[in-house]
């Protein structure tokens, strides 16, 4: 389909955005002068890249927000304190307490709150002008976050049930006996221990990546249609820009939802790991 | 990438069905929203995971 559309265009000068647009050279270098190193057979850039700065900046922003929101601790909250309380309360009540249960949810609240706001801010970097790159659209960030979540829910499960007990708890479904177990245990192990962190990371990464590539496509395509093609294509370019704005609104929703889903699933996995029985 | 477009039909239908069932449930029994919402979002995330694995594979195999 796209090949047919491409041949209809008289000048084939438009290069659609691809995964390469996310692999920015380190700050202060261009693509040619950047130092590189070999890692697992891939050539990688050596240096401080834009997502790294964004990750550090997000920590500073979240710290400043909660520091100033909680500094006064007035009985009648001001605007900033209200925002802080609302954000914290949402994660604590609807994510942590409703999933983990009111008995021992409190010790996971700091972890879940920091994870939620870290992912949220890093997602929204994709829409802030001049930044325009969600740091979670780099797969390494998503993998790291998923490994942290995986380590936490396995760790609390192992400390509660013991290593063998935890493995039994996660792989043997209750009320199943006999030869069916030979089929179910590998399946449960695969889905609970292996697939969970992979889907957790890929969901966050691929949503951010796909959404951002869609934005790039409509912005660059619209700009190309108007600036390079001209004439009757200006109308199509304007439509493309309208689509860009509509997808920006959709992305605002998706970015929030992905942070929410990530933390919701983490809370559910923790709840499953510390549950007494099925 | 064209195949990926076709492959999204399945997860798309699944996500639609999950939220249809969720909306139906809440419309019939509004007080059950708190209990149904995490289940709906969990189901949505699981159905969506198939589409996500698809896009990852499209890039891995396409490269």
pLDDT level of residue A7 (50, 70, 90 thresholds): very low
Residue A10 has pLDDT above 90, yes or no: no
pLDDT tens sequence across A187-218? 888 888 888 888 889 889 888 888 888 888 88
CB contact under 8 A, A203 and B45: yes
Mean pLDDT (whole number) for A239-268 = 90
- Paired residues of A37 in beta bridges: A44
Burial class (CB in 10 A: 0-12, 13-18, 19+), A184: middle
Domain boundaries of chain B, sorted by first residue: 1-62
CATH number for the domain running over B1-62: 1.20.20.10
Close Cβ partners of A267 (under 8 Å, ≥ 6 residues apart) = A95, A96, A99, A100, A108, A112
pLDDT level of residue A9 (50, 70, 90 thresholds): very low
Mean pLDDT (whole number) for B10-29 = 92
The structure tokens listed for B35 are 């209990």
Q: Are A99 and A268 in contact (CB under 8 A)?
A: yes
DSSP 8-state secondary structure symbol assigned to residue A225 = I
Taking the model in full, what pTM does it have? 0.84
DSSP class per residue in A222-269: HHHIIIII-TTHHHHHHHHHHHHHHHHHHHHHHHHHHHHHHHHHHHHH
Q: What is the pLDDT of residue A1?
A: 37
Does A149 contact chain B (CB < 8 Å)?
Answer: no
Which residues does B contribute to its contact with A (CB < 8 Å)? 2, 34, 38, 41-42, 44-45, 48-49, 52-53, 55-56, 59, 63
Q: What is the pLDDT of residue B63?
A: 56
DSSP 8-state secondary structure symbol assigned to residue A40 = T
Q: Which residue in this structure is represented by tokens 């192992």?
A: A158
Q: Which carries the bigger pLDDT value, residue B34 or residue A64?
A: A64
Mean pLDDT (whole number) for A65-83 = 85
Mean pLDDT (whole number) for A23-30 = 78
The structure tokens listed for A137 are 């659209």
- On average, the pLDDT of chain B sits at 83
Distance (Å, whole) CA B19 – CA B25: 10
Q: Which carries the bigger pLDDT value, residue A38 or residue B23?
A: B23
CB contact under 8 A, B56 and A202: yes
Question: Between A and B, how many CB-CB pairs are < 8 A?
Answer: 36
Q: What is the pLDDT of residue B59?
A: 72
Q: Are A199 and B55 in contact (CB under 8 A)?
A: no
Residue B32 has pLDDT above 80, yes or no: yes
| ipTM for the predicted complex | 0.73
Chain A residue with minimum CA distance to B53: A202
Q: In this structure, how many other beta carbons lie within 10 angstroms of the beta carbon of residue A44?
A: 13
pLDDT more than 70, % of chain A: 95
Distance (Å, whole) CA B52 – CA B56: 6
Q: How far is A202 from chain B (nearest CA, A)?
A: 7
Distance (Å, whole) CA A161 – CA A166: 5
pLDDT level of residue A152 (50, 70, 90 thresholds): very high
Residue A240 has pLDDT above 50, yes or no: yes
Q: What is the pLDDT of residue A8?
A: 46
Residue A4 has pLDDT above 50, yes or no: no
Does A98 contact chain B (CB < 8 Å)?
Answer: yes
pLDDT more than 90, % of chain A: 24
H or E stretch including A39?
Answer: strand A36-39
Q: Are A171 and A163 in contact (CB under 8 A)?
A: no
Q: What is the pLDDT of residue A277?
A: 63
Q: How far is A264 from chain B (nearest CA, A)?
A: 8
The structure tokens listed for A86 are 């609302």
């Amino acid at each position: 389909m796209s090949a047919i559309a491409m041949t209809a265009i008289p000048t084939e000068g438009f290069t659609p955005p691809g995964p390469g647009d996310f692999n920015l050279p380190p700050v202060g270098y261009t693509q040619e002068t950047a130092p590189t190193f070999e890692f697992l057979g891939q050539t990688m850039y050596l240096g401080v890249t834009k997502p790294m700065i964004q990750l550090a900046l997000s920590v500073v922003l979240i710290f400043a927000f909660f520091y100033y929101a909680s500094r006064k601790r007035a009985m009648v909250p001001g605007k900033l304190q209200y925002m802080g309380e609302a954000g914290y309360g949402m994660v604590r009540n609807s994510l942590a307490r409703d999933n983990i249960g009111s008995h021992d949810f409190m010790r996971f609240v700091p972890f879940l709150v920091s994870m939620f706001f870290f992912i949220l801010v890093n997602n929204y970097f994709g829409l802030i002008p001049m930044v325009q790159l969600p740091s979670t659209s780099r797969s390494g960030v998503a993998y790291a976050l998923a490994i942290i979540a995986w380590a936490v829910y396995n760790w609390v499960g192992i400390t509660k049930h013991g290593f063998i007990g935890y493995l039994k708890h996660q792989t043997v479904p209750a009320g199943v006996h006999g030869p069916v177990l030979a089929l179910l245990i590998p399946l449960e192990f695969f889905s609970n221990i292996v697939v969970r962190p992979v889907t957790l990371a890929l969901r966050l990464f691929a949503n951010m990546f796909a959404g951002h590539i869609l934005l790039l496509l409509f912005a660059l395509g619209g700009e190309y249609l108007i600036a390079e093609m001209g004439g009757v294509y200006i109308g199509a370019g304007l439509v493309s820009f309208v689509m860009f704005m509509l997808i920006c609104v959709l992305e605002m929703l998706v970015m929030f939802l992905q942070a929410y889903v990530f933390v919701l699933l983490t809370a559910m996995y923790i709840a499953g790991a510390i549950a007494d029985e099925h | 990438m064209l195949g990926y477009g076709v492959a999204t039909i399945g997860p798309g239908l699944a996500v639609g069905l999950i939220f249809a069932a969720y909306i139906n449930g809440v419309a019939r029994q509004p007080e059950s929203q708190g209990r149904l919402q995490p289940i709906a979002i969990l189901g949505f995330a699981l159905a969506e995971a198939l589409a996500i694995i698809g896009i990852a594979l499209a890039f891995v195999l396409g490269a």
